[in-house]
Structure 1
Amino acid sequence: MEESEIATQKEIVDNKRDRDSTETKTNEAKGEVSSQMSDPESVCKPPGETEVRFNRMKLFEKVMQKSLERFIHDASFNRFASIFRPLYKKNPQRMESIYKQFKDELQKAIQEDINRLIEEGQLERKFNELDKLERAAKNNPDPAWRPSGVPEQDFCSFLIPYYQKQDAYMRLELKKIQAENADLAQKVQAGRESIAETENRILATVDEWKASVTEFERLASSLCPAKVFDV
């Protein structure tokens, strides 16, 4: 009974401490906002300074930090002890030490996961791209796209431009391939003509060689008759 009362008092003190810290942060945030609203120069800052003040990455980190603090706060010692009540009854101090270690390790693991998410997801670069899109949208007088309420039309309006770009790309590639094929066909035709000319030269050379052999045989037979060599 006394242990439950001590745990209850401890939870009340922890809750009061968390509320005080939350109120302090809220008051500080309100003070920053009021100072920004009271300063007319801050309202009329250029877009570059406004980006520095309202950085999406910093805002994301604050939101994740606040969510982590709320999650750790919900994982209170009383809930932890209620799960392991037999162990808590045997050694409350040891259980409290285990809870502190568990809370620290849990917070560290979640923070590492958040950092890994920011790094692998390249959130900072994506947020910068979002800022660029927002600035481009402000400078664009045309109304932004909104869903029509008919999924088929919205789906087609998204896919048709994509397929049109793909069609234009394929047509361009087809023209390139056709031009390459035409060039290759000209080279093949030129090669065939060269081979035909070479064959003609070879045939002409063979004919000349045959004629020269025939002429040589004729001359040889006229200069050396066969009867001269008869015994």
Structure 2
Amino acid sequence: MEESEVATQKETVASTCVRDSAENQSNEATGEVSNPAAAAVCKPAEETGARFNRLKLLDKVMQKSLEKFIDIASFNRFASTFRPLYKKNPQRMESIHKQFIEELRRSIQEDISRLTEEGHLEFKLNELDKLERAAKDKPAPAWRPSGVPEQDLCSFLMPYYQKQEAYMRLELKKVQAENAALAQKVQAGRESIAQTENRISAAVDEWKASVTEFETLASSLCPADVFDV
């Protein structure tokens, strides 16, 4: 029954695509603009069928799980839980159980719908289609866990740590180069200060020598006994 429904759905999509393709060709011949909504509907039959199957399979799984959960809350189990009330009024208990099942089913169905919308399951299924198409073009096998958590964790973290190590090495080289340039500037400053100190010392020595020479010359030109009375 389900296969016939899927086949009918595919035939409907295919017929729609053929009709829209013929309309687009006629519109192109007459220069008219084709309908973008019809073009959006006309997708590859295989892709549309796969997405339809996934959505239908998800809904089928959720409905089966819901039915199994509802079956657990059967009337016999419900009545055995509230046996004193069941003995007093079995019909009333059946009515309460029926209302309970309806309310339970409705609330669970609302939760499923809300989770489907909040989880963006349709978008995720589309992404799954893209991943499958991309995987077909990659001959290399996909990653699979080895069964050893330590190895799997290392295989996942090692590339990250290697990138971080390479980045830190590059930053270390930059810092070392900056430190070397600063050290050269400091050395050059020290040499400049030493040269300035030498020039100052030499100038002081020259000044002292000139003062001594001047005093000697002054004493030789003006002896002290000339001024004696």
TM-score using structure 1 length = 0.54
Structure 1, gaps ≥5 residues long: 1-26
Assess if the C-alpha contact under 8 Å between 1:81 and 1:88 holds in 2.
Answer: yes
The CA deviation at 1:199 is: 2.3
CA distance 1:77–1:220, change in 2 (3 Å): farther
TM-score using structure 2 length = 0.55
Alignment partner, residue 97 of structure 1: 96
Letter in 1 for 2:204: K
1:84 matched to 2:82:
yes
1:32 matched to 2:16:
no
For residues 86-142 of structure 1, what are the alpha-carbon distances to aligned partners after superposition, in whole Å with 9 as ceiling and x for unaligned? Answer: 12223442673376247525752575378458746x6555433322221123334x3
The CA deviation at 1:80 is: 0.8
Greater Rg, structure 1 or structure 2?
Answer: 2
**Structure 2 matches for 1:94-173, cutoff 5 A?**
96-97=95-96, 100-101=99-100, 104-105=103-104, 108=107, 111-112=110-111, 115-116=114-115, 119=118, 123-124=121-122, 126-140=124-138, 142=139, 144=141, 165=159, 169=163, 172-173=166-167
CA distance 1:200–1:49, change in 2 (3 Å): same
Letter in 1 for 2:75: F
Alignment partner, residue 203 of structure 1: 197
The CA distance in 2 between the partners of 1:38 and 1:117, in whole Å, is: 27
CA distance 1:81–1:52, change in 2 (3 Å): same
Assess if the C-alpha contact under 8 Å between 2:79 and 2:86 holds in 1.
Answer: yes
The CA deviation at 1:64 is: 1.3
For residues 45-89 of structure 1, what are the alpha-carbon distances to aligned partners after superposition, in whole Å with 9 as ceiling and x for unaligned? Answer: 616852675263564244213421342244223321121111222
CA distance 1:112–1:220, change in 2 (3 Å): farther
CA distance 1:41–1:112, change in 2 (3 Å): closer
Structure 2, gaps ≥5 residues long: 19-42, 225-229
Question: What secondary structure sits across from 2:95 in the alignment?
Answer: helix
The CA distance in 1 between the partners of 2:62 and 2:71, in whole Å, is: 14
